[in-house]
Amino acid sequence: MKSFFYLLLLTPLLSAPLVAQEIVMQGIILDAQNQEPIAYANIGILNKNQGTITNTQGKFSLTVAKQFKNDSITISHINYHPIKILATNFSNQKILLEPKTTELHEVIVFKGKIKNKKIGVKSYGKLLSMRIASSDNDIIEVAQRINIPEKEVKVKAVNFNIRKWSEVDGVKVRINFYTNRDNKPSEKIILKSIVHELPTDRESGWIRIDVNKDAIYIGQDFFIGIEFIPNFETPTIVDLGAILTKGKGYRRESSLGTWEKLNGAASINVEVQY
């Protein structure tokens, strides 16, 4: 099991992989109905840790080793139907995604006394951090398992801790909700793109993302994911609060990449109502 945590008293070692023969793919992803660019669409080889994400103009560039030439490139966004293109057939091109039909969900009315609860990791180790460092135009995502107290809850807010010294100018995150399959994040269950830019004038290390207006109702245990989106101009280097005592956390370092179990967990929790 790979460890992504480090003590603040130590300096992490960095290494660079050797460059192999590569396939370079570039293009733009558009809405098939209105031809508008699709920002923050994920492009990658499923579970191979080879991926990228579109910028705000829908453009992307993906470089993969030639050993993956027979793999399929998956293009996906929570609001669109995904498509796959064989890597060897992938050239610089315009890619159209068909929007998904918006489904209206029943509004749940809770009976009796309404309860509020914060679930997840609500603390962090003072000498422990989880580094989010990406120099490529790809995402890094961390997830925490959430066990709900009732048959159905409304998610009001998502909280996570960013250590105060972190430079968060221009850093954006997307909030994702995943099914819990065999105690591991699986399919997305909320068809909404919830993207927020991190505030620079925060009073504490805790970031609170209000999702009350998004009417998110979940009737099963789930994973909450914090997906760090690259700003495409400068490397993203952020330190998340973390603990080693609760082993319900996962992390992946590529669009559509493999989830790896953490020895501990990032400091992520949700506020729910039931």
Q: Taking the domain 22-97, which CATH number applies? A: 2.60.40.1120
CB 55 within 8 A of CB 232: yes
The Cα–Cα gap between 250 and 258 comes to 10
The Cα–Cα gap between 225 and 230 comes to 16
User: What is the residue whose two structure tokens read 């995150």?
Assistant: 173
User: What is the residue whose two structure tokens read 């789930």?
Assistant: 222
Encoded tokens for 149: 């107290």
pLDDT at 269 over 60: yes
User: What is the residue whose two structure tokens read 């990658």?
Assistant: 44
Burial code of 176-202, b = ≥16 C-beta within 10 A, e = fewer? bbbebeeeebeeebbebbbebebeeee
pLDDT at 14 over 60: no
Summarised one tens digit per residue, pLDDT across range 81-133 is: 999 999 988 877 899 999 998 666 666 666 778 999 999 999 999 999 999 98
CB 82 within 8 A of CB 76: yes
Percent of the chain residues topping a pLDDT of 90:
68
Comparing 229 with 16, the larger pLDDT belongs to 229
| pTM score | 0.87
Encoded tokens for 267: 């400091």
Domain residues of the chain, as ranges? Answer: 22-97, 116-273
- Ranking 63-67, 165-169, 210-214, 258-262 by mean pLDDT, the lowest is 165-169
Q: Taking the domain 116-273, which CATH number applies? A: 2.60.120
Q: What do you get for the CA distance between the two ends of the chain, in Å?
A: 36
Percent of the chain residues topping a pLDDT of 70:
89
